[in-house]
């Protein structure tokens, strides 16, 4: 598409832009199936050439995360039975809080604690993502970075 023409996704075409972000009053990006950039406050847009749709880049990030998580998890093992750090003895309170029951997934799903942990982790994840999405304005407001330094870089072709 030619420069100076609004991306079809911004004008109501079916593909749609999922997010528009401006690092400064003039520099911004529109994220959807394609990546668009503007350097004049949105009066004109240029499509940023990419090897594939932006969603492919996002999906590959998720795949990479899954590979790292699975690889890291494969090294985790339960300690030997009755193992404890050298010199440590549990207090009476710690002993009273122990359980002698292991839960299956089906049993866990029937407990309130399971759902409380799920809710807590979901809120934690949303809070983390919210902070990450606002990192640029936060750093700019704190005076720790200029708008150009705090802006996300456009995806390279």
Could you report the per-residue pLDDT of 128-151, keeping only the tens digit for each? 887 777 777 766 666 666 666 656
User: Does any domain span residue 96?
Assistant: no
Measured CA to CA, the distance from residue 116 to residue 119 in angstroms comes to 5
User: Does any domain span residue 57?
Assistant: yes
User: Does any domain span residue 154?
Assistant: no
User: Does any domain span residue 79?
Assistant: no
Residues 67 and 114 in one domain: no
**CA angle 34-39-45, nearest 5°?**
40
User: Does any domain span residue 92?
Assistant: no
In the chain, how many domains are there?
Answer: 2
pLDDT at 141 (0 to 100): 67
User: Does any domain span residue 94?
Assistant: no
Residues 70 and 114 in one domain: no
Q: Which domain holds residue 33?
A: 1-74
Q: Which of 15, 41, 16, 12 is nearest to 26 (CA)?
A: 41
pLDDT at 2 (0 to 100): 44
19 vs 1, higher pLDDT:
19
pLDDT in tens, 112-129: 999 999 999 999 888 888
Residues 10 and 63 in one domain: yes
Domain boundary among 74, 102, 127: 74
Say which residue the tokens 């710690």 belong to: 94
Residues 66 and 120 in one domain: no
Please state the pTM of the whole predicted model. Answer: 0.37
Q: Which of 61, 60, 53 is nearest to 17 (CA)?
A: 53
What integer is the mean pLDDT of 89-103?
86
């Amino acid at each position: 598409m030619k420069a100076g023409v609004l991306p079809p996704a911004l004008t109501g075409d079916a593909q749609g832009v999922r997010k528009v972000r401006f690092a400064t009053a003039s520099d911004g990006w529109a994220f959807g199936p394609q990546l668009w950039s503007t350097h004049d406050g949105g009066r004109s847009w240029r499509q940023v050439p990419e090897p594939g749709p932006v969603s492919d880049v996002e999906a590959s990030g998720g795949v990479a995360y899954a590979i790292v998580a699975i690889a890291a998890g494969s090294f985790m093992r339960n300690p030997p039975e009755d193992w404890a750090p050298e010199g440590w003895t549990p207090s009476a309170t710690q002993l009273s809080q122990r359980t002698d029951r292991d839960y299956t997934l089906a049993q866990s799903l029937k407990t309130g604690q399971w759902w409380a942990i799920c809710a807590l982790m979901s809120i934690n994840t949303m809070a983390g993502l919210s902070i990450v999405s606002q990192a640029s304005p936060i750093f700019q407001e704190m005076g720790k970075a200029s708008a150009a330094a705090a802006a996300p870089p456009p995806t390279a072709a």
